[in-house]
Amino acid sequence: MTQVSFNVVSRSGASAACAVEVNRLTIAGWAGRDRAAIEHHIAELAELGVKRPSTTPCFYRLGAELLTQAEQIDVVGAHSSGEAECVLVQSAQGLLVTVGSDHTDRLVEAYGVTVSKQICPKPIARDAWRFDDVAGHWDQLQLRAFAIVDGVRRVYQQGSVATLLAASDLLERAPVAAGAAMFCGTLAVEGGIVGMAEGDALELELHDPVLNRTLRHAYRVHALPIVE
């Protein structure tokens, strides 16, 4: 179990603090709505030696203590990277949506996807929206990620969440009970998956063009040495 705290921003712009004791964390994998997009992401990971999933989508259960709102995470080596995702969190104020990164060790991923996800922290933003405020125009939400590698900032991911399974669909398949959080799937990356070394960073955005607002989070990597 771990505690996270959100600044919940309403449609009107008013905000309220909300602390959540998260006791269950799920990562929705291979959650694309478009079969071609799923195959594209599978092909990206296949280049890294990751086996095809037996079914899609699939739901990885991880330790809730992996969630973090810190601006720096510790990882081992320089072969992990993040993925921008919508994140649903069930709170005392109802279902919330924020933006986060399914940071994953890419070397370990070739051995086992679940293990690779379990060994990396999962950064999430401090601001959140009420799910009910965006449910009616969910498909218009936009995900973006910018990678800062060797001091150079570039677009890493961008696109509509309409290419992913709708949150309502995921919630039917894997309900988010009180105190639970779920990452909702990611987009294909631009330019290929890159490993993040010491000081590299990822900037995350979830943009709502209907209500003209954006959730943001950024974090950098502290790469711990590998001792043979």
- The DSSP line for 85-108 is EEEEEEETTEEEEEEEE--EEHHH
Q: Which domains does the chain have, with CATH numbers?
A: 2-224 (3.90.850.10)
Amino acid at 137: H
How confident is the model at residue 214, as a pLDDT? 98
Strand 127-130 to 152-160 pairing:
unpaired
- Region of residue 185 (phi > 0: left; psi between -120 and 50: alpha; otherwise: beta): left
How confident is the model at residue 188, as a pLDDT? 86
Q: In which band, very low, low, confident or very high, does the pLDDT at 49 lie, cut at 50, 70 and 90?
A: confident
Determine what percent of the chain is predicted with pLDDT higher than 70.
Answer: 100
Q: In which band, very low, low, confident or very high, does the pLDDT at 33 lie, cut at 50, 70 and 90?
A: confident
pTM for the full predicted model:
0.94
Alpha-carbon distance of 113 to 36, in angstroms, equals: 21
